[in-house]
Chains A and B, each alone.
Chain A
Amino acid sequence: MTELFDADTHVAPASFADLAGSLSPYWRDYAAGAALRADPVQASAYPPAMVDGPAPHDLASLRAAVLDAPGPGGARTGTAVLTCTTAFDVSRNHAFEAALCRAVNTWTAQTFLDHEPRARGSVAVPLGDPAAAVAEIEHRAGDPRFVQVLLPVRGHDLRWGHPVFRPVLAAAAAAGLVVTLHAWGRVGSAPTTTGFTHTYLQDYLSHGQVAQSQLVSLVAEGALGALPALRVTVAECGSSWLPPLLWRLDKEWRGIRREVPWVDRPPSRYVREQVRFTTAPIHLPRDPAELRDALDVLGAAELLLHAGDHPHRHGDGAARLLDALDPAGRAAVLHGNAAGWYRGAGAVVPHVPAPAPVRHAPEVPR
């Protein structure tokens, strides 16, 4: 039976007390004075209806809920990428954010990675200060247990492809770390172009659209092209929206590529080579024939990475996916794709080029 590679399972400190040992006295006092707490709901991201309890905050609960629990088809978990999004929901204070990310990553290492060889870590990085994000990536790059850098799909005023963030992407690529765009993030920034929503449902589904904005940005700004070693995982944002996005993007690129001369291949080629998607959630039709068509159009067996996404609830889309895949496709999604994607664990990590220049200057059109 295929051993599972779970590309997205959540952990979270139960409170700021869990992080206190990794925060300086100044930031401990700051957090206490502001009555900050490590809220498992993360503002509006994970309300009670959408979770099966809190994310594990210690090794015993992680083992019980994920690592030692039977996965799809009763399979055991061989590797699990731990995602801690506690630092997503923070103030605009970038200095605090940097301290919090450092503490979260240290907590992940000390609580889980030091004791559990099946666990891999995600590097939380401060988004309000790209230089501090680069410093955090470089601080963790030599620790092979960290396999990805975590960016919220709802970010700042600029999309992740913008040159401001290029050093962050370059540092990740140079270290062989996947950059994972994960659902939620700056919930103080509305997910729509026209402001705040009235329902959770709209915020929940908006991640697919916002993820598309980030992929378009990574292509159009030349980030994927300039950093061929960069690998991007889109986590918890869906994936069945991908084909129509690529059709439109390829067509428009053919028409107006003059505007982005550094994009010298059809956008779909960058995306299909350098981007993967987790399976929680995946939105698919219920009719079996339509389902097979949808997976064919998507190229599901090549693009998808299994994610248990404990403790988040997403319905039965992933189960429908696994039922519809053939054995080879199922093995690829449950294990093979991720094992070839993340460093270590048999990954074929591409040759790491020299770090890109800190200042990215698009080539002047000829």
Chain B
Amino acid sequence: MTTIDSTAATTRAPARRRTRTPIVDADIHPVVTPDRLAAALPEPWRRRFLRFGLRGAPPPAVYPRVRHGGMRRDSHPAAGPPGSAVRPPGSDLDLMRSQLLDPYDVVAGVLIPMQGHTAGAEEPAFAAALCRAYNDVLVTDWLDPEPRLRASICIPHESPAEAVAEIERRAADPRFVQVLFPSGTFLPWSDAKYRPIYAAAAAHGLPVAIHLGGTEGHRGDGWPSFYLEQHAWYGNAVAVALTGLVAGGVLEAVPDLQVVLVEGGVSWLPSLLWGLDDAWELCRDDVPWLTRPPSEIVRERLWFTTQPIDEPPVPAHLATTWEQTGMTDRILFSSDYPHWDFDDPITALRVLPAALRRPMAAANAARLYGLTLPGGDDD
């Protein structure tokens, strides 16, 4: 089990190991507190934020997480002085260091600020100001004091012109290693509206990381009632969207685009690739721009993260299934700190044979993000 048992001790920092296993963690969630956000916003956006707040409902409001708000129980920073603001999990760099970066030899951790998923769908100018403020706080509060951290660029994804401007603004800072995009968007990822975002990212050599979240919408799949339902099906939302990226011609239209699918899982991929190739043979006239089997395109352009790692009843089935992707060199370890279903960097991948799991720990991500690993050890 890699899930966090709520009855465990309240602190859970493992002893620092003697042997080094360099880890690149591709999914760490920082939280920018409202006071830090407000301080970083210019007027009139600060007053708007303070007096009217944000309008989008984040997924935890739609599907309440019934233990510890969906966080690791031990990830809540100690309360400040009486009357001070609430400090949510993910808002404290020192706690992140002591629970994740130090004990596990995390040589690089990629911050994925999910607040941008909903802020990015606000009114265009407000969304642009919010995302710029989030990125400014990521720099001052996280990247400047902690050289091991990298960040994803928050963008006002529903306002592509403003999103492109924010990508341009951050592209020169090498600590921003990718552009963040949510799974829940107003239109399918393949819509022409979003192409300028993909093109800008590709032009700067930045992957687009698509993380679960954003605006929650359900059409023909029907609305879930429960978090279990929504969260267990998240991988399918990603699979549907990946099909759209491929079939909709996005990957052909933006040839330098690399896409990281974060927290959507991996194990569903072989079945989807088989289906894509079978369907492509039947539907060639429907997708004339696809001139070769879709699985080939996916294997050149997509990356995946490990968390939440599956636990099949026959453990060997996991390696069998991941090897069937034909792209285990594009799977990146991720912990999802500080969420409840955090995967331990040392133990989570142990179900896989060493030769399969070792590159996932750091080398695959180092290749994608252009990171140098200590000692030149690339696996």
Q: Which residues of A contact B (CB under 8 A)?
A: 49-50, 154-162, 185-187, 189-202, 204-206, 208-210, 212-214, 216-217, 220-221, 238, 240-241, 243-245, 247-260, 263, 268, 281, 283-285, 290, 293-294, 297, 313-315, 317
Which residues of A lie under 8 Å from residue B185 when comparing CB positions? 194
Please determine whether A158 and B222 come into contact, CB atoms closer than 8 angstroms.
Answer: yes
Which residues of B lie under 8 Å from residue A185 when comparing CB positions? 220
Residue B67 is within 8 A (CB to CB) of chain A in the complex: yes
Which residues of B lie under 8 Å from residue A263 when comparing CB positions? 228
Q: Give A285 to B248 CA distance when docked, in angstroms.
A: 23
Please determine whether A254 and B1 come into contact, CB atoms closer than 8 angstroms.
Answer: yes
Q: Which one of A157, A197, A240, A317 lies within 8 Å of B188 (CB-CB)?
A: A197
Please determine whether B219 and A216 come into contact, CB atoms closer than 8 angstroms.
Answer: no
**Residue of A156, A247, A258, A285 with most chain B CB atoms under a 10 A cut-off:** A247
Given known A-B contacts A194-B189, A248-B265, A210 and B220 have beta carbons under 8 A apart: yes
Residue B361 is within 8 A (CB to CB) of chain A in the complex: no
Q: Which one of A189, A199, A317 lies within 8 Å of B219 (CB-CB)?
A: A189
Given known A-B contacts A213-B221, A244-B310, A248-B265, A49 and B287 have beta carbons under 8 A apart: no
Which residues of A lie under 8 Å from residue B65 when comparing CB positions? 256
Would you give 15 A-B contacts (Cβ < 8 Å), ordered by A? Answer: A158-B223, A159-B224, A160-B222, A185-B220, A190-B220, A195-B187, A198-B249, A204-B279, A213-B222, A216-B233, A243-B321, A268-B313, A283-B275, A294-B270, A314-B282
Please determine whether A248 and B271 come into contact, CB atoms closer than 8 angstroms.
Answer: no
Interface residues on B, range: 35 or more
Given known A-B contacts A190-B220, A200-B283, A213-B222, A243 and B186 have beta carbons under 8 A apart: no
**Residue of A194, A257, A297, A314 with most chain B CB atoms under a 10 A cut-off:** A194
The B interface is mostly helix, strand or loop, or mixed, namely: loop
* Count of CB-CB pairs between chains A and B under 8 Å: 254
**Segment of B25-33, B37-45, B101-109, B239-247 in the binding face:** B239-247
Residue B173 is within 8 A (CB to CB) of chain A in the complex: no
Residue B50 is within 8 A (CB to CB) of chain A in the complex: no
Given known A-B contacts A190-B220, A315-B282, A241 and B271 have beta carbons under 8 A apart: yes
Given known A-B contacts A244-B265, A317-B278, A197 and B321 have beta carbons under 8 A apart: no
Given known A-B contacts A193-B221, A201-B279, A248-B308, A253 and B228 have beta carbons under 8 A apart: yes
Q: Give A276 to B73 CA distance when docked, in angstroms.
A: 39
Q: Which one of A158, A191, A206, A285 lies within 8 Å of B274 (CB-CB)?
A: A285
Given known A-B contacts A158-B223, A159-B224, A248-B265, A199 and B188 have beta carbons under 8 A apart: no
Given known A-B contacts A186-B220, A192-B221, A206-B240, A283 and B186 have beta carbons under 8 A apart: no
Q: Give A199 to B184 CA distance when docked, in angstroms.
A: 20
**Residue of B1, B183, B226 with most chain A CB atoms under a 10 A cut-off:** B226
Given contacts A200-B283, A248-B267, 9 further A-B contacts (CB under 8 A): A155-B220, A157-B222, A197-B188, A214-B222, A220-B228, A220-B232, A253-B232, A294-B270, A314-B278
Which residues of B lie under 8 Å from residue A155 when comparing CB positions? 220, 222
Please determine whether B235 and A244 come into contact, CB atoms closer than 8 angstroms.
Answer: yes
Which residues of B lie under 8 Å from residue A205 when comparing CB positions? 243, 272, 275-276, 279
Please determine whether B248 and A202 come into contact, CB atoms closer than 8 angstroms.
Answer: yes
Query: Within the complex, what minimum Cβ distance (angstroms) separates B158 from chain A?
Result: 11
Which residues of A lie under 8 Å from residue B229 when comparing CB positions? 159, 213, 216-217, 220-221
Please determine whether B240 and A191 come into contact, CB atoms closer than 8 angstroms.
Answer: yes
Please determine whether A194 and B217 come into contact, CB atoms closer than 8 angstroms.
Answer: yes
Residue B340 is within 8 A (CB to CB) of chain A in the complex: yes
Which residues of A lie under 8 Å from residue B318 when comparing CB positions? 247
Residue B51 is within 8 A (CB to CB) of chain A in the complex: no
Residue B312 is within 8 A (CB to CB) of chain A in the complex: yes
